[in-house]
Amino acid sequence: MKYRLAVILVTLLALSACAGLPSKQSVYTNPNSESMIGNVARVAIIADVCLMKDVLGDGYWVVQESRSAAEQMLDAAGTYLAGKGYEVSSAQAPFVGAFKSRTQPFRVRATSEGEVAEINPPLFESESLANDPVYKESLLQVIPNIPAVQAPQSSLPAVCCSNAEMKNHLTVIDKNTGGDATLFLIGHGSIVSGGKQFVQGLTTGLLTTALTLGMVSVARYNVSFLDTYAVLVDNATGEVLWSNSMRMKGDGFTDKAYYDAEKWPKNILYYLPSKTGQLRNNEAEPTNNKKPSPM
């Protein structure tokens, strides 16, 4: 009897531990990642976040909140990567909305109280890029390819950055960031006013429909959400080493508390292979090495 009770207790504890792990259904891990990760000591992080404010049907993209969320992502991801044994060589958020289609104008405000203007992406770019047009153009060529990694019908290395032109752009990025690999973080979300939002609290889940990423100007939802695409690219080969995507619902995307280690970074980066090759405590190795399902 005591033995049976012990077995039941161990089983319940194991189930409880698994229940607390993030979903890994959209995780892609390169089959050769173990050997390739061994060559990665320094990682650069580049974030591009674009948030829309939907205030009782009046939707517009807001630069200030987008930049605040990007900075929080950079800090949280940098800390999380350090915990996995990587050295962060650079952390930058040079644009807002560079992943979106440059042929379509968007309704944009610099701040929530600012005037609305129609702007073609990117909706903001760092002043420092004005002194380095080659680096700027390389970023603009590579960043829009990052979300395409999630397309299941695509060849991951070909879609992202392994062709000759993209590898040249990665070389430029490498020279400006000093990383052996680059972790690209793309954020796309909506901040819904309290009058419209009917779901409270933080929940997570898979993205269920393919994001158009700028092919439409405004998509309205009744709940605030943040979609994140995280893609680690080898700067030497252009191959995707690892990727993940997830939708997180709730609000507070610009607040430091949202990026606490047990929230955003854990949900997005938990299954990124550790530099040492040893898994973190309670970290489960992803079993889905197929291309991620469409969002």
Q: What is the pLDDT of residues 58-100, one digit of tens each?
A: 789 999 999 999 999 999 999 999 999 999 999 999 999 999 9
Q: Percent of the chain at pLDDT above 90?
A: 47
Residue 165 forms part of a structural domain: yes
Q: How far apart are CA 80 and CA 11, in angstroms?
A: 30
Number of independent structural domains in the chain: 1
Residue 16 forms part of a structural domain: no
At 295 the pLDDT is 32
Point out which residues pair with 51 in neighbouring strands.
Answer: 189
CA distances from 248 to 177, 207, 252, 261, 286 (A): 29, 9, 11, 15, 20
Residue 5 forms part of a structural domain: no
**What six digits make up the tokens of 261?**
């280690």
Comparing 149 with 284, the larger pLDDT belongs to 149
| Digit-coded pLDDT (tens) for 17-28 | 444 788 888 888
Q: Which DSSP letter does residue 225 get?
A: E
Give me the domain span that covers residue 209: 23-269
Q: How far apart are CA 270 and CA 266, in angstroms?
A: 5
| Digit-coded pLDDT (tens) for 247-276 | 888 778 888 888 888 889 999 999 999 986
Comparing 5 with 149, the larger pLDDT belongs to 149
At 136 the pLDDT is 97
Residues 128 and 120 sit within 8 Å (Cβ to Cβ): no
Residue 32 forms part of a structural domain: yes
Q: How far apart are CA 286 and CA 28, in angstroms?
A: 8
Residues 81 and 270 sit within 8 Å (Cβ to Cβ): no
At 224 the pLDDT is 87
Q: What is the largest CA-CA distance in the chain?
A: 74
Distance of CA 281 to the CA centre of its chain: 23
User: Of 75-79, 107-111, 287-291, where does mean pLDDT reach its minimum?
Assistant: 287-291
Alpha helices in the chain, H assignment, sequence order: 2-19, 33-37, 63-83, 133-142, 156-159, 164-177, 264-269
Residue 286 forms part of a structural domain: no
Comparing 292 with 202, the larger pLDDT belongs to 202
Residue 294 forms part of a structural domain: no
Residue 280 forms part of a structural domain: no
Q: How far apart are CA 272 and CA 293, in angstroms?
A: 18
Q: How far apart are CA 285 and CA 281, in angstroms?
A: 11
Residue 18 forms part of a structural domain: no
